[in-house]
Amino acid sequence: MPQIDLPTVFSALADPTRLAIVERLLAEGERSAGEIAEPFAMSKPAISKHLRVLEQAGLIERKVVRQWRVCRVRPEAIRAVDDWMQRYRAFWTDSFERLDKLLAKSEH
C-alpha cells in the first residue's frame, strides 16, 4: 500500500477531473475504469492517466475482477486528509472565538 503523503494527495486532487473521479467513487463505491470514464469527454487513455496519478498518490487502489479493472477510494487516504483538516478547523474555530471576545471587549 502506498504511504499517504498529503502534498501529493492535494496535488492530485487539485485537478478537477481527478477530484470528480474521487467524489464519484466516494458517492457510488467501486467502479470499473470504463464506468469511471463514461461521464468525461476524454479518451480512455487520458482517464487511465488520471487513475494512475490518483493511485500513485495513494487515494485509490485498483484491482482486477474477472476482465474488469475496478477502482475504489482508499479510506485511509481520506482519513489522513480529514485528520489534517480537523487540526486546522480547530485552529480557526479557536482563532475566531478569540477574535469575537476581543471585538466584544472593544465595543464596551
Residue 1 covered by a domain: no
Residue 102 covered by a domain: yes
Structural domain including 45 reads 6-106
The count of other CB atoms within 10 Å of the CB of residue 98 is 10
- Nearest Cα neighbor of 39 from 25, 59, 52, 53 is 25
Q: What is the pTM of this model?
A: 0.80
CATH number at residue 49: 1.10.10.10
How many domains does one find in the chain?
A: 1
Q: Which three cell numbers stand for residue 55?
A: 493511485
Residue 85 covered by a domain: yes
List pLDDT tens digits, range 31-73: 999 999 999 999 989 999 999 999 999 999 998 888 888 999 9
How does 57-69 read in b/e, with b if 16+ C-beta sit within 10 Å?
bbbbbbeeeeeee
Contact between 73 and 26 (Cβ < 8 Å): yes
